[in-house]
Amino acid sequence: MVWFIFSSFFIFCLLHSANSDGRCPSTCECVWKSGKITAQCVGANLMVVPSGASKNLQVLDLSKNNFQTLPSKVFQERGLINLQKIFLSECKLGRLSPDTFFQLNNLVELDLSVNLLTSVPSESLSYVTRLRRLNLHKNPIRTIGKDSFSELTNLGILDLSDCEIESVEKGAFNALKALDHIKLDGNRLSTLPDDVFNDLPITNIGLHRNPWKCDCEVRPILEYLNKFKITPSVPPTCASPSKLAGLMWNSLELSAYACPPIIKVSETQQQARLASNVSFECIVSANPSARINWSAGELGVNSSITITEGDKFSINEEMRVADSISSTLTIHKIDNEDARRYYVCIASNEAETVSQNFTITLINSDFTPQWSKIEVITGVVISILALIVVLVLGILVKIRTSKDTSTPNNTVNTDDNSVIMQNNKLEKNCVVQTPVIDYLPKESYQANDGTNGAVIMITDFPPTQLYYNYENCNIFQPHRMLHETDEGYFENNFVPFISNETLL
């Protein structure tokens, strides 16, 4: 009882002293709260930190003011070096001087929430190495850089919720060896570095309300949480890939957190000669490991077949660094059909199936792979048939021409009425027989015949067709119709004599 009275009296005297000597700013209210001397300056529309507070002040609440910035050594210059807690929430702070918290060696709690800071004020925080609680909630901080909290080795609680954080760099929390509670919920995080929480004594973590991409990069975080039996305050959910969107982390197996395979190649097209060997290498990185297959298809055709090892193909696989696999397909003794194909390296795991195409180009070959075997055979057959048709037509034309030239043409009468055959000759064995005269009944005529011809004296009779019978001459050509009205009919009314010399 005595002790209680003594303590109350001491506190009263202390507060009275603080008020009576003017060391509580007029815009603030100084009270005893939670066992500490507290100056409450909330919503006082302050633009600078007030002066005149007691040097024994332990808690300073400056929330909801309009500071915008805090100058260098502002608390030290006002004699507030014994402060243990400072509340600067909703003060429109966009900048802190590097030594704002100079000589605040006893500061254990700092509230900078709901301000306009775009990055963690690492330099300013380096002066408060005993800080155990830091609140940066709802500042537009996009990135948490490496060693952002390098001097805060005693920090136990860190609130980075609703800060628009998109990325956390590797090693961002390395110095926080006493960190027990971290809040990263309500940000724009889709992934985190795989070792971001390694060696940290975290027991409570907030990761919900982030657009998590549930792939292999997030899996180490789950493995860490499972290993140390850390349960997030609210289960995070997946935003991508689409097949996992909306699912909670704790509802998925670890194998579901997979990254699509990545295929690396040196070249996708090879030039080669017929009967040579061609090899294509496909290097695949995947987490978890991918299964690799090869297929082949004909160019321009939407179908393919799976390649299996044999006389034509061989496949070799070997492990590379960083859990990558090298798969090499070798095509032996390539031919035109091989050059018409495309070859596909197919890598698949739980996340996705990806592929890469390869092709062959023939060089220094009489035949380039423009047509298939069927097309080539068809072309050859058509060419042969066309050649046969041309030969047959040529033979027929030659026979027709030969017949035309072997048949004598009609005889003609020259100006001297000599009988001339075409080509100016008759066949050697041609013998001219007695003339044959067709005449109309009851008409008279007179004729003198000879061995090789005859002179015909024609009297008054109707038109008569006169012709000779040439034996063995293959001809039987009638002469023109004679009529007494024809010119020269009575003056030259005979057929001239054909001598033996004319018959060649």
Q: Which tokens is 107 given?
A: 């500061």
Give residue 57's pLDDT: 96
Give residue 207's pLDDT: 97
Give residue 375's pLDDT: 74
Task: Report the first-to-last Cα separation within the chain, whole angstroms.
Answer: 175
Residue type, 465: Q
Residue type, 129: T
**DSSP 8-state code for residue 423:** G
Give residue 502's pLDDT: 39
Give residue 323's pLDDT: 77
Domain ranges of the chain: 264-362, 371-406, 412-502
Q: Could you tell me which CATH number the domain at 264-362 has?
A: 2.60.40.10
192 CB neighbour count, 10 Å cutoff: 21
Could you tell me if 328 and 358 are in contact, meaning their C-beta atoms sit under 8 angstroms apart?
A: no
221-226 long-range CB contacts below 8 Å, 24 or more apart?
221/192, 221/194, 221/196, 221/197, 222/249, 222/254, 222/257, 223/254, 224/197, 224/198
Residue type, 193: P
Q: Is the dihedral of CA 261, 266, 271, 274 positive or negative?
A: negative
For 404, the 3-state DSSP assignment is helix
Give residue 400's pLDDT: 79
Could you tell me if 453 and 432 are in contact, meaning their C-beta atoms sit under 8 angstroms apart?
A: yes
Give residue 373's pLDDT: 65
CA atoms of 332 and 278, how far apart (whole Å): 7
According to DSSP, the residues that pair with 279 across neighbouring strands are: 330
290 CB neighbour count, 10 Å cutoff: 28
CA atoms of 70 and 390, how far apart (whole Å): 103
pLDDT in single tens digits along all 504 residues of the chain: 444 444 444 444 444 444 444 489 999 999 999 899 999 999 999 999 999 999 999 999 999 999 999 999 999 999 999 999 999 999 999 999 999 999 999 999 999 999 999 999 999 999 999 999 999 999 999 999 999 999 999 999 999 999 999 999 999 999 999 999 999 999 999 999 989 999 899 999 999 999 999 999 999 999 999 999 999 989 999 999 999 999 999 999 998 999 999 999 989 999 999 999 999 999 999 988 999 999 999 887 777 889 988 889 999 999 987 779 999 999 999 999 999 999 999 999 999 999 999 999 998 755 444 556 677 788 889 999 999 999 888 888 888 777 666 555 444 444 444 444 444 444 444 544 445 444 444 444 444 444 444 444 444 445 444 444 444 444 444 444 444 444 444 444 444 444 444 333
